[in-house]
Structure 1
Amino acid sequence: MRETFIHPTALVEPGAELGQGVSVGPFCHIQAGAVIGDNSELMSHVVVTDAARIGAGAKIYPHAILGCDPQNGKHKGGPTTLNVGINCQIREGVTMHRGSDNSRGYTSIGDNCQFLAYSHVAHDCDVGNNVTFANNVMVGGHTVIGDYAILGGGAAVHQFVRVGHHAFVGGMAALAHDLIPYGSAIGVHAYLGGLNIIGMKRSGMKRSDIHDVRHAVHMLFDRTKPIRERAKDVLEKMPHSPIVADLIAFVQTGNKRAFCTPPLGATIGGAWDDDEDE
């Protein structure tokens, strides 16, 4: 394990906790109470506040600011945290805010995530593992981002919205409704443009599971009934598929926000479905 290195121009306040092999570059500021895990690298001009708990193996690029106060008028200044998992890459100018003392009290980031330049994670968000934010992605407070989700450049997600695991939000999309697992949302005002087939394959999903999800989604969005009623029908017709049960659980357990749906006029098996050879 390499030795811990602190550049002479960096300010590491007494009470900051640095793991073994941490490298702190020029003009970084680490506040008392901050925790930075083993073998993490802060390149230069990085600010880590007292609220931040950074996991091992992080690589943090210049001008990232981690753990500042939430942009939430109801926050009264109580102690809250930003918790970042292991092996995360945080690029230039990224901002991540601590939780609010009137809410869950912490913002959480999973393991093996990538946050590209100038992306932003707001207060009280819950970001899963292996998530990618492209440049300039913005997610509002209390947003939930599932494992393996990918958010394209400039995408914006409304506060309290959930993005399901393995989902894809297209570049410049404005997502104001919950996006189902495996869904692919595109458009300036994002709609459900199909399924994230490429991501499903890359994650190792079986061909049969992909077909089950496709069939379940066709049933969910056929517009003959409200989606939560159709969810019960899907479970009745596909009771033995764990992957479908997981999809339906997302529909049934969420908050009361609407769901991101296919465009009006789209038909089952129509242009909105990402149909391709398996």
Structure 2
Amino acid sequence: MEETLTKNIQINRSSRDCYIHPSAIVSEKAKLGQGIHIGPWCIIGDDVVVEDGAKLIANVIVEGKTVLGKDSVYYPFSTIGLAPQDLKYKGELTSCIIGARTIVREQVTIHRGTAIGNGMTRVGSDCLIMVNSHIAHDCYLGDRVIIVNNVVLGGHVHIDDDARIMGCAAIHQFVRIGRGALVGGVTGVESDVIPYGSVIGNRARLVGMHWIWLKRNGVKNQELHALRGVYRILFPKENEQEMVFDERLKLVHEKYGHIERVKEILDFIQNPSRRGLVKVGRMISSSENDD
């Protein structure tokens, strides 16, 4: 993957369309693309690759074997590719890769991987990582993921494409968040969240599907109706649980298994991580919290 990202990168320090502020400290060994912008007081380490059009506004630190994707943007006091907060880390040459057009806002920290993990922390393309969030070592974020202010991700967290993690949420290490899922604000997530699921609470409970995202992304009414049926079968109310979970999975497969998004949910459920699945709960109204 890294070879594909870096094969066309040349060192263009003297290029007219490559701006490096005089106060920036940029290693002679770093690889710099065309049209980049490195603002005041930035620090770029030896093994860093800055791809074409990337912009570091000011006071950004990038170290380690790190790739900053094409046209990505980094706001002041963000740090990318620094050593992980893991006592087992002994300075191994691990990596951090940020995809194209991703935006990293102020005071975000994204650490590189560890040798005992997969050796890489990866943030996909077209992501938005908002103020003061932390992405720990060996995390994997797909494309178009949005991380809102003050979110913390433990090590080895895996978040699939199009997921939304709302402000001040905390994700336990090794948790998986499925495609298009929604994690509510101030939510502690200790277990896996199914694709298109919606979770909230301390600790997180599954309260439905991420209907807003599904509708905004053009899912037709017929498929929405099928997904409602899937949810009712897999996660019935307590007084409606007539079948064990394996039987409910079989029924969903027989009735809706031909639908691609349903297949995705079933595959996710049948291949759990070590954390298991988030339990089903219910949305608590504000009136129930008034005491």
C-alpha change, 1:14 and 1:262, in structure 2 (3 Å) is same
Partner of 1:234: 252
Shift of 1:84: 0.8
Which stretch of the first structure deviates more once superposed, 50-59 or 132-141?
Answer: 50-59
Name the CA distance, whole Å, in 1 between partners of 2:50 and 2:25.
14
Match of 1:16 among 30, 44, 51: 30
Q: TM-score, normalised by structure 1?
A: 0.91
Letter aligned with residue 173 of structure 2:
Q
Structure 2 residue aligned with 1:144, among 116, 135, 158?
Answer: 158
* Match in the other structure for 2:78: 64
Alignment of 1:122-201 (within 5 A): 122-201=136-215
Q: Distance in 2 between matches of 1:230 and 1:60?
A: 46
What is the distance in 2 between the residues matched to 1:132 and 1:105?
23
Using the alignment, how far apart are the partners of 2:25 and 2:272 within structure 1? 43
Which stretch of structure 1 is more off in the superposition, 87-96 or 253-262?
A: 253-262
Q: For the structure 1 residues 230 and 40, does the alpha-carbon distance in structure 2 shift closer, same or farther, using more than 3 Å as the test?
A: same
Counting only pairs closer than 5 Å after superposition, residues 221-260 of structure 1 correspond to structure 2 as 221-222=235-236, 223-225=241-243, 227-260=245-278
Alignment of 1:48 onto 2:62: yes
Structure 1 residue 149 displacement after superposition: 0.5
Q: CA separation in 2, counterparts of 1:225 and 1:32?
A: 59
Distance 1:123 1:228 in 2: 35
What is the number of residues matched between the two proteins?
A: 266
Gaps of 5+ in 1: 273-278
Instruction: Report deviation, 1:229.
Output: 4.9
Output one character per residue of 1:132-169: Cα deviation in whole Å (capped at 9) or x when no partner: 00000111111111111011010111001111111110
Q: In structure 2, do the counterparts of structure 1 residues 258 and 38 end up closer, same or farther at CA, with 3 Å as the change threshold?
A: same
Of 68-77 and 112-121, deviating more is 68-77
Residue segments in structure 2 that go unaligned for 5+ positions in a row: 1-14, 285-291
What SS class does the counterpart of residue 82 from structure 1 fall into?
strand
Q: Percent identity?
A: 39
Name the CA distance, whole Å, in 2 between partners of 1:212 and 1:79.
Answer: 47
1:112 to 118, 123, 126: 126
| 1:23-65 per-position Cα deviation (integer Å, ceiling 9, x unaligned) | 0000000001101111111011000102211110111000000
Q: For residues 53 and 224 of structure 1, do their structure 2 counterparts lie closer, same or farther at Cα, with a shift above 3 Å needed?
A: farther
Cα distance in 2 for partners of 1:46, 1:121 equals 16
RMSD: 1.7
DSSP 3-state at the match of 2:207: strand
Residues 32 and 216 (structure 1), Cα distance of their counterparts in 2 relative to 1, 3 Å cut: same
Distance across 2 between alignment mates of 1:14 and 1:235: 57
Contact 2:94–2:113, Cα closer than 8 Å, also in 1: yes
AA of the residue aligned to 1:4: C
Structure 1 residue 98 displacement after superposition: 0.5
Q: Distance in 1 between matches of 2:183 and 2:90?
A: 33
Q: Does the residue aligned with 1:8 lie in a helix, a strand or coil?
A: coil
User: Does 122-131 or 229-238 show the bigger shift?
Assistant: 229-238
| TM-score, with length taken from structure 2 | 0.87
Counterparts of 1:181 and 1:236, CA distance in 2: 19
- Contact 2:64–2:94 under 8 Å retained in 1: no
